[in-house]
A and B are shown apart, each in its own frame.
Chain A
Amino acid sequence: GEDVEQSLFLSVREGDSSVINCTYTDSSSTYLYWYKQEPGAGLQLLTYIFSNMDMKQDQRLTVLLNKKDKHLSLRIADTQTGDSAIYFCAESLQNYGGATNKLIFGTGTLLAVQP
C-alpha cells in the first residue's frame, strides 16, 4: 500500500537539534520531500532529496535517506522557536495511471520548540 509514517509530536529546547523521522513504502520513489506547515498556512516546501543521494545539507537542514530501510529523516540544527510547525514527509508515486505523478504525504510531525 501507499503509506508514509511519521511520529505525531516532537518537543525540543531552543538551540538543540531536532530530528524528524519518516518511513515510506514505495521503493521506486524518485524524489522525497519535506514540507513545513505553519499555523493558519498551507504547506511550503522546505527541501527535497533525489533518491540516488543519501544525504543533502542546506544551511541548518540535513536530510538523510536510507533507501534500504525506506527511512528518511530531517535534522534541524540550532532549532529556533520560529521552527515550531508541522513537518510533512512526502514521497512521489510514479506511473499510477494518470498524466501526472502524485505525492503521498505522512500524518505530519508537530515540532514544539520550548524557549
Chain B
Amino acid sequence: ETGVTQTPRHLVMGMTNKKSLKCEQHLGHNAMYWYKQSAKKPLELMFVYSLEERVENNSVPSRFSPECPNSSHLFLHLHTLQPEDSALYLCASSQDPETDSYNEQFFGPGTRLTVL
C-alpha cells in the first residue's frame, strides 16, 4: 500500500455507539492530521500530531478522542456523537515542517460518517 489510507470508508453509527476511525501512512512522514469536512464550510483542522505528540487541539469536543501510537498510525475514537458530527473525516500526513517552510500535506480518501 502506498500513500495515506483510511478505514472504514463509510460508517453509520447511532448516538450511543463507540467506533474508531483508522489512518495509516506509508510515506515516512512524522506529522499527522485529522480534518473535518462539512458541506459549504472550510475544512476544519481538528488535531495535529508531530512525532507522536499532540501539538494542536482546535477546541474539539471530548466525544472525539485522537490516538497516535506511532508515526505511521493515527486513530480517531468516537463516542456519543451527535447528528451534526456527520461529515467526511480526512486524515493527512506531512514531513514535519519547521516554521516558514514548505508543508505539503498528503490526504487519505476520508471516512464518510453518518450519525443517526
B61-69, B79-87, B97-105: which lies at the interface: B97-105
Quote the shortest CB–CB distance from B26 to chain A (angstroms): 14
Contact residues in B for A103 (Cβ distance below 8 Å):
45, 103, 105
Give the complex CA separation of A31 and B94 in angstroms: 15
A37-45, A55-63, A64-72: which lies at the interface: A37-45
Quote the shortest CB–CB distance from B87 to chain A (angstroms): 13
- Contact assessment for A94 and B48 in the assembled complex, using a CB-CB cutoff below 8 Å: no
Tell me what chain B mostly uses at the interface: helix, strand, loop, or mixed.
loop
Give the complex CA separation of A102 and B96 in angstroms: 10
| Chain A contact residue count (CB 8 A cutoff) | 29
| Chain B contact residue count (CB 8 A cutoff) | 32
Q: Is the CB of A92 closer than 8 A to any CB of chain B? A: yes
Residue of B nearest to A105 (CB): B43
- Contact assessment for A42 and B42 in the assembled complex, using a CB-CB cutoff below 8 Å: no
- With A8-B40, A42-B90 already in contact, the answer to whether A101 and B105 are too (CB < 8 A) is no
Contact with A along B33-77 (1 / 0, CB 8 A): 001000011110100101101011000000000000000000000
Please name 24 pairs of A and B residues whose Cβ atoms are closer than 8 Å in the assembled complex, sorted by A.
A30-B100, A31-B102, A33-B104, A41-B109, A42-B108, A92-B103, A98-B48, A98-B55, A98-B56, A99-B55, A100-B48, A100-B50, A100-B55, A100-B96, A100-B97, A101-B99, A102-B56, A102-B103, A104-B42, A104-B45, A107-B40, A107-B41, A107-B42, A108-B43
Interface residues of A (CB under 8 A from B): 4, 8, 30-31, 33, 35, 40-45, 48, 88, 92, 94-96, 98-108
Additional A-B contacts beyond A8-B40, A101-B98 (5; CB < 8 A): A30-B100, A40-B109, A42-B4, A88-B43, A101-B97
